[in-house]
Amino acid sequence: MKLQRSGRKALALGAVAVVSSLTLAACGSDDNSGKGDSSSAPTTKASDIKCGDKGQLLGAGSTAQKNAIDQWVKDYQAACAGTTINYQPNGSGAGIQNFVQGKVAFAGSDAALKPEEVTASKKVCKGGQGINLPMVAGPVAIGYNLEGVDNLVLDADTLAKIFDSKIKKWDDAAIKKLNPDAKLPSTPIQAFHRSDESGTTKNFTQYLGKAAPNDWKYEADKKWLAKGGQSADGSAGVASQVKQVNGAIGYFEISYADANQIKTAKLNTGAAEPITVSVDAASKAVAASKIVGTGNDLALDVDFTTKAEGAYPITLVTYEIVCDKGNDPKSLKSVQAFLGYTASEAGQKAISDKGYAPIPTEIIEKVRKVIPTLS
Amino acid sequence: MSAVTDKTPQGGIHPSAPSLKHARLPKWAPAATAVGAIAVAVGIGMGAELSSKIQWGLIAVLLFVGTLHVLSSKVEGTRQAKDRLATSLLWVCFILAVIPLFSLIEYTIAKGLKVLDAAFLSHSMNGVITTETGGGIYHSLIGTLEQVGIATAMAAPIGLLTAIYLVEYGRGKLAKTVTFFVDVMTGVPSIVAGLFILSFWIIYLDFNFSGFAGAMALAILMMPVVVRSTEEMLKLVPNELREASLALGVPKWLTILRVVLPTAIGGIVTGVMLAIARITGETAPVLLLVYGSTAINNNPFDGPQDSLPLYVFQQWKNGNEPSYDRAWAAALVLIALVMAFNLLARGIARWKAPSGGRG
Amino acid sequence: MEISRSAPTQAKAVVPPESGPPNLRQTPVEPPAPQNKGKVRLGDRLFSGASRGSGILLLVIMAAIAAFLTYRAVGAIADDHGNFLTTKEWNANATPPVFGIAVLATGTVISAVIAMVIAVPIAVGVALFISHYAPRKLAQPLAYLVDLLAAVPSIVYGLWGALFLVPHLQGTTQWLDSFFAWTYVFDASQPEVTPRSLFTVGILLAIMILPIVTNVSREVFLQVPRMHEEAALALGATRWEVIRISVLPFGRSGVISASMLGLGRALGETMAVATVLSPSAILSLHILDPGGGTIAQNIASGFGEASPFGRDALIASGLVLFVITLVVNGAARLIIARRKEYSGANA
């Protein structure tokens, strides 16, 4: 009977597919050392890394530092066989919550712990509290897509007006003034912001609020509080929209601009030359920042209004959050070993070609001193 | 095109059997109308300089449906014309539905085949930097298979039994309440199911992230789908079958197992497959509960795992070309995997079913 | 022949569906007086107990979820400095927290309605097409294709929607705006902006739920007793009349519950909405304008960075979604109740 036959055929086909996927599943491998680009070879010698205990180390939090952590994890795992570090980029807020619930050994965050979060951390850090260790900084690029315009220069006031929908066309007088040589079309500006809450948004709006207080009246928040404009989910979403839409402008970590070949605007900060977004320029801005944390807590305050030559002020400092006392003894050694590597000279150097700025020497040295005292 | 293959009304004895008294449109009429409609639409489109091809298509469709209807009602009478109208509208529905779905599949296959190879299937993402090429989905594949397997093992029997209760035993308040809440349960957003397990299992009972936690949330999402579709199928089993079996002295539970379930097995299996399809693609609860991992973890009861939809989601979030490639390839694997299960299940259903049905 | 086109009708056709007297069809099926009492009773009791237990377990799970949602939501809503029902913004992490579901609930309903309006007629059409119209050789592969599409994960629909659908809907949006702006809903204030609007979301959701609704509907249409159809044919009905007289009434309750499945997915869809929509706190019925939001999308975007209080607030919005589904399902249930007589079983 025809029906029966086609049924058997389907059965056989399905069985073959399932069985083959299962046999395939029996021969998986965690070893990726032989694959990928040549540049993905470990950037550090194994001797730079002191290994902690074997087993799995869990971390969670900021998406902004994901690529840096990826690089560090790769190097660390290459040197320390038997250790797996699992960092979940589920957002700073979720990372901190996982941390205060004792589900992860360390959290990555775009912002220092708030007072109530410090209080909450005392429950899991027995006899101590959560502290912020600045580990990596990343410049936030202003990406744009405008045919025929290559070296766009903007300043804080203009940016504020653009993102507040006060400047609506690319040939607005304010933009013309900053770019006298460019042929600006009258294309409408489509400003993209993040629809999800993020440290990147907070950092960017903080910059606008500090550097353009007259034109930006909104509070700095993880959520975009201004009206108007378009939004997209995640830095990847914003970047892909800016790439697709002519006349678009948006903000995202520099790695997204590089990965998608999106043009970035130069920033007129009041320094002699407009600043091109780069890792070095971000490092210079971080160098001007102050430590505001007390004791072992090394939370930083970035100076958004800096006019220093070559300093790019829209720079996001991200932290690793751990307990100063009362860490889980099972993971303590691994945490110390891993963070010890990330704060080391080799660790900081390893991430500079991934779109991240190393933390300036005097601050990172303090971090290095804190790590061995964790208990 | 659609109309060219539409020859069924002409073959054999069919519903609108041509009576000797009525005039009929010639066989080639629909095809000719279609060609004409497309030609005119292209003409209009070019003439009016309509840029969107969608508009061209719409014009062609309207012309085709309209012309055929008018022709048919002139020649064949109103009833036949209505039949023609329905036939052409159904074809249009079908084409409308297939275009985007086809485009989606084509897009996924075209993009997914780029990095899909044996190494991609047999390696994890352990130690791979996401801005670079390399890595694979092995860890996610394992995670998905295990989580969905556990979820199905929990949800399918419960769902099936609940449906049997509702159709065969349920009378009164309890049954009504269950039916109502099953409906409500279909509306539970996946992220809420995830939140529930998160606060109950992980925060309150203090278990760690694991594949099993994810499977529980998936089971919650799966149960109502299984119940609803199974219920619908059981209801459609003619009562006469049950009565005949009972009249022969077969106990009720055996009647259900031997007569009712086999009759409806095709639909039930489809329902379960739909439910599996729904949960295999879920990202949110998996993200909250199994945590995600870049390394292989074969044990669903201990430690973080990964899953394919989560993998796709995270690669998309990475926002660079190598990651997009991996995302599409993983999506393709996921679809293929579900399809394989689907074929298997359908095959079993066919094979076991006593009377095939029309499916 | 029409009948031979489909599978041989064996066991089912042997018993004429209309053979039972009407009064018998309405009484519940009771087992006949068992002859070997003890044995039968035990099997029956175990089986009915197990199935009853499953039903109760399901209720317990639901009760647990509902209780938990309410418990978390009440605290959050009590501390809301805005009006939970009418505030448009969602700033639950701010101090003081101000949040409301006005925009989100409206967006959820609008996008789901658009999806249902587009998807259900087409899905029923496709289901009928596969079950009654398509050439036999085409019908099987088509059924598989639809099954396959139901398996496409929502994140893939999201990617496809963002990269393919949105750019391709620009023309449609402008066309709707220029010809139907007078309808108010199709009046776009910025037709030149990329259409990352509730309308686009609705279309994407329609495409997403189409396979599910089609699948279940097709399965139901295939179960229509052949006798019903053959009786109609014997009276000289055209194919469309057969469908109208025997297939559609029989399948109505199935189509409604299929639609409910689809609606459930449309209301709760997260990733596809998040990648396609350009959310904002603007309440507007101009569905072609970018903006608006849905409850599920808001939960997904807000969850990662939410404070514990913000998380509870998001759970409160989840509760609203829950209530919306409850109301919709109640309505659907009423419709089904009136159509019960077409069901084959007595339940």
Half-sphere exposure of C181 (CA within 13 A, CB side): 11
Q: How confident is the model at residue C341 (pLDDT cuts 50, 70, 90)?
A: very low
Dist CA A93 CA C107 (whole Å): 26
Dist CA B108 CA B105 (whole Å): 5
**Residue among B142, B209, B336 minimizing CB distance to A103:** B209
Q: By the 8 A CB rule, do A49 and A79 touch?
A: yes
Q: From B347, which residue of chain A is nearest by alpha-carbon distance?
A: A11
**Residue among A17, A67, A354 minimizing CB distance to B340:** A17
For the record, the structure tokens of B29 come out as 């009429």
Q: How confident is the model at residue C22 (pLDDT cuts 50, 70, 90)?
A: very low
- Asked if residue B135 has pLDDT above 60, the reply is yes
Please give the single-letter amino acid code of residue C167.
P
Q: How confident is the model at residue B19 (pLDDT cuts 50, 70, 90)?
A: low
H runs (alpha helix) in B113-129: 118-122
Find out if CATH 1.10.3720.10 is the number for domain B138-357: yes
Give the gap in angstroms from C-alpha B234 to the nearest C-alpha of chain C.
8
Q: What per-residue confidence (pLDDT) applies to A41? A: 46
Q: What per-residue confidence (pLDDT) applies to C34? A: 46
- Neighbors of chain A with 3 or more C-beta pairs under 8 Å: B, C
Mean local confidence (pLDDT), C26-46: 57
Lowest pLDDT segment from B26-35, B307-316, C21-30, C114-123: C21-30
Q: What per-residue confidence (pLDDT) applies to A9? A: 63
Torsion of CA A116, A119, A120, A123, to 10 degrees: 180
Give the gap in angstroms from C-alpha C322 to the nearest C-alpha of chain B.
6
Q: What is the CATH number of the domain that holds A143?
A: 3.40.190.10
Q: C162 CB contacts (<8 Å, ≥6 apart)?
A: A237, A240, C275, C276
Condensed to tens digits (0 to 9), the pLDDT of residues B219-274 reads: 999 998 899 888 888 888 888 888 898 899 888 888 888 888 888 888 888 788 87
Q: Which of B210, B294, B328 to mutate to test the interface with A (most CBs of A within 10 A)?
A: B294
Nearest to A358 by CA among A154, A68, A98: A68
Condensed to tens digits (0 to 9), the pLDDT of residues C254-264 reads: 888 788 878 88
Nearest to A159 by CA among A357, A304, A316, A310: A304
Lowest pLDDT segment from A123-137, C56-70, C245-259: C245-259
Q: What per-residue confidence (pLDDT) applies to B359? A: 39
What is the longest distance spanned by two Cα atoms in chain B? 80
Dist CA C45 CA B252 (whole Å): 10
What is the longest distance spanned by two Cα atoms in chain A? 85
Architecture field, domain C79-342: Orthogonal Bundle (1.10)
Lowest pLDDT segment from A95-109, A335-349, B14-28, B174-188: B14-28
Dist CA A302 CA A308 (whole Å): 13
Q: By the 8 A CB rule, do C277 and C270 touch?
A: no
- What DSSP element (H or E) covers A135? strand A130-145
Which of the pair, A340 or C8, is modelled with greater confidence?
A340
Locus of tokens 């770019």: A179
Q: From A65, which residue of chain B is nearest by alpha-carbon distance?
A: B318
H runs (alpha helix) in A57-198: 66-79, 92-100, 115-124, 156-163, 173-178
Residue A73 belongs to a domain: no
Which of the pair, C92 or C214, is modelled with greater confidence?
C214
Q: What percent of chain A is predicted at pLDDT more than 70?
A: 89
Give chain C positions within 8 Å (CB) of A228: 280
Total of domains in chain A? 1
Torsion region of A149: left, alpha or beta (phi above 0 gives left; psi -120 to 50 gives alpha) = beta
* Helix-helix angle A199-211:A156-163, to 10 degrees: 120
For the record, the structure tokens of B197 come out as 């397990």
For the record, the structure tokens of B58 come out as 């719409």
Task: Write the DSSP assignment of A313-329 as a string of letters.
Answer: --EEEEEEEEESS---H
Q: What per-residue confidence (pLDDT) applies to B146? A: 92
- Asked if residue C35 has pLDDT above 70, the reply is no
For the record, the structure tokens of B245 come out as 């079996």
**Residue among B142, B319, B351 minimizing CB distance to A259:** B319
Dist CA A108 CA B306 (whole Å): 20
Q: What per-residue confidence (pLDDT) applies to A34? A: 56
Share the mean pLDDT of chain B.
81
Dist CA C322 CA B188 (whole Å): 6
3-state class (DSSP) for residue A290: strand
Half-sphere exposure of C155 (CA within 13 A, CB side): 29
Q: What is the DSSP letter of A245?
A: S
Q: What per-residue confidence (pLDDT) applies to C18? A: 39
Locus of tokens 């009905």: C237
Dist CA B134 CA A137 (whole Å): 27
Dist CA A324 CA A321 (whole Å): 9
Q: What is the DSSP letter of C28?
A: P
Lowest pLDDT segment from B93-97, B161-165, C64-68, C204-208: B93-97
Dist CA C21 CA C18 (whole Å): 8
Q: By the 8 A CB rule, do C268 and B190 touch?
A: yes
Q: What percent of chain C is predicted at pLDDT more than 70?
A: 84
**C186-198 core/surface letters (b: 16 or more CB in 10 A; e: else):** bbbebbebbbbbb
Q: What is the DSSP letter of A144?
A: E
- Asked if residue B106 has pLDDT above 70, the reply is yes
Give chain C positions within 8 Å (CB) of A225: 91
- Asked if residue B320 has pLDDT above 60, the reply is yes
Give the gap in angstroms from C-alpha A217 to the nearest C-alpha of chain B.
31
- Asked if residue C240 has pLDDT above 50, the reply is yes
Task: Kindly list the domain boundaries of chain C, sorted by start residue.
Answer: 2-18+25-36+43-77, 79-342
Question: Three-state SS across B11-55?
Answer: CCCCCCCCCCCCCCCCCCHHHHHHHHHHHHHHHHHHHCCCCCHHH
Q: What per-residue confidence (pLDDT) applies to C201? A: 92
Q: What is the DSSP letter of C193?
A: S
Q: What per-residue confidence (pLDDT) applies to B154? A: 94
Nearest to A240 by CA among C162, B330, C166: C162
Q: What per-residue confidence (pLDDT) applies to A8? A: 60
Q: Which residues of A are annotated as a binding site for phosphate?
A: 62-64, 92, 110, 198-200
Q: By the 8 A CB rule, do C99 and C190 touch?
A: no
Nearest to A109 by CA among A83, A76, A128, A131: A131
- Asked if residue C303 has pLDDT above 90, the reply is no
- Asked if residue C23 has pLDDT above 70, the reply is no
For the record, the structure tokens of C224 come out as 């229509």
Q: By the 8 A CB rule, do B74 and B63 touch?
A: no
Give the gap in angstroms from C-alpha B135 to the nearest C-alpha of chain A.
6
Q: What per-residue confidence (pLDDT) applies to B52? A: 62
Residues of chain A with pLDDT under 50: 1-5, 35-42
- Asked if residue B212 has pLDDT above 90, the reply is yes
- Asked if residue B14 has pLDDT above 70, the reply is no
Locus of tokens 């932290």: A319
Q: What per-residue confidence (pLDDT) applies to C184? A: 75
Dist CA A362 CA A136 (whole Å): 14
- Asked if residue B46 has pLDDT above 80, the reply is no
Nearest to A166 by CA among A146, A191, A186, A149: A191
Which of the pair, C164 or C151, is modelled with greater confidence?
C164
Domain holding A208, by residue range, is 139-284
* Bridge partners of residue A57, in order along the sequence: A85
Q: By the 8 A CB rule, do B335 and B258 touch?
A: no
Q: What per-residue confidence (pLDDT) applies to B49? A: 67
Give chain C positions within 8 Å (CB) of B193: 65
Q: How confident is the model at residue C7 (pLDDT cuts 50, 70, 90)?
A: very low
Give chain C positions within 8 Å (CB) of B277: 147, 150-151
CB atoms within 10 A of CB B248: 10
For the record, the structure tokens of B174 come out as 């309890």
Task: Write the DSSP assignment of B255-302 as a string of letters.
Answer: HIIIIIHHHHHHHHHHHHHHHHHHHHT--HHHHHHTB--SS----TTS
Task: Kindly list the domain boundaries of chain B, sorted by start residue.
Answer: 29-112, 138-357
* Helix-helix angle A115-124:A92-100, to 10 degrees: 40
